[in-house]
Amino acid sequence: MNLIVDVGNTLVKLAVFQGGDLIDKENDVLENFNVNFEQLLKKYPKIQKCILSSVGLLTDKQLEFAKKQLNILILNGETPLPFINDYKTPQTLGVDRIALVCAAVKNFPNQNTLIIDAGTCITYDFVTQTNHYLGGSISPGIRLRYTSLNNLTANLPLLTKEVPETIIGDTTKSAIHAGVVLGSLFEIEGVILTYQRKYSDLTVILTGGDANFLSKQLKSSIFAHPNFLLEGLNYILQYNSNE
């Protein structure tokens, strides 16, 4: 039984896997990490292994607390991976992106796969049918776009995401929704189309916090998978445990 810890920019996700099956998941703010970590260990005493992926701000004290409970594999650029990494600066490649590529390799072997993670940022990662990870791109996510419009202008309000009725906003609020949401959708559709022109047999995965919100509006054929990153982390832990 494995414990997966994913420290993101806004939340900490803790997940329990039995083999390859997700059996429990907790999402909470960083401040409650110790409590949630300990509670899951008590709830599932058969947990033996743990992997930690952190793009957020897990403190040294929180990390030491976790290490005292379990032997933890901390994912970084030196961790053995089940794919060939052709990224020119592998030491700067985010651990979240590494985990997503691993999930693609496991779930869609021998396929050209584009993984789109719609979270704080929208990341695009591409792995070939020959198991080579080539890289991708990074752009602001939906919440970041709304926040930037508010923070970097004098008069634009901070809004929460909302599906616009039309591309022509006839108020400031509707114009912002049209610009942010439809702009994100047009970007995603455009990226998918560009990859499809080069790789006609492309498999597209959409995951992340905004995956469900976006998948209902996308015209492209995609697989929406909210737990893709967690599955990738579990696969990395299994891969390193078998070496």
**Measured between alpha carbons, how far apart are the two ends of the chain, in Å?**
17
Contact between 133 and 144 under an 8 Å Cβ cutoff? The reply is no
The yes-or-no verdict on residue 9 having pLDDT over 90 is no
Confidence label for 57 from pLDDT (cuts 50, 70 and 90): confident
Supply the DSSP symbol for 181: I
User: How high is the pLDDT of residue 205?
Assistant: 96
Cα 148–chain centre separation: 21
User: How high is the pLDDT of residue 142?
Assistant: 97
Q: What is the mean pLDDT of residues 95-116?
A: 96
Whether 2-74 and 84-226 share one fold: the answer is yes
Geometric angle at alpha carbon 233, from 9 and 20, rounded to 5°: 135
Give domain limits for the chain: 2-74, 84-226
10 is in an annotated binding site: yes
The yes-or-no verdict on residue 55 having pLDDT over 90 is no
* Domain range 2-74, its CATH number among 3.30.470.20, 3.40.1440.10, 3.30.420.40, 3.40.50.300: 3.30.420.40
Mean residue pLDDT of the chain comes to: 93
Q: What is the mean pLDDT of residues 2-13?
A: 88
Q: Decide if 86 is catalytic.
A: no
User: How high is the pLDDT of residue 134?
Assistant: 98
Contact between 18 and 47 under an 8 Å Cβ cutoff? The reply is no
Cα–Cα separations (whole angstroms), residue 92 to 55, 112, 158: 11, 23, 32
Q: What is the mean pLDDT of residues 57-71?
A: 89
Half-sphere exposure of 231 (CA within 13 A, CB side): 18
105 is in an annotated binding site: no
229 is in an annotated binding site: no
Distance (Å, whole) CA 208 – CA 225: 8
The yes-or-no verdict on residue 152 having pLDDT over 80 is yes
Sign of CA dihedral 143, 148, 150, 151: positive
Confidence label for 243 from pLDDT (cuts 50, 70 and 90): low
Strands (E), the chain: 2-7, 12-18, 21-28, 49-54, 72-74, 84-85, 113-118, 121-127, 132-140, 203-207, 223-224
The model's pLDDT over 174-206, given as tens digits with 9 standing for 90+, comes to 999 999 999 999 999 999 999 999 998 999 999
171 is in an annotated binding site: no
Which residue is catalytic, options 21, 86, 96, 170?
96
The yes-or-no verdict on residue 30 having pLDDT over 70 is yes
Name the class of domain 84-226. Answer: alpha beta
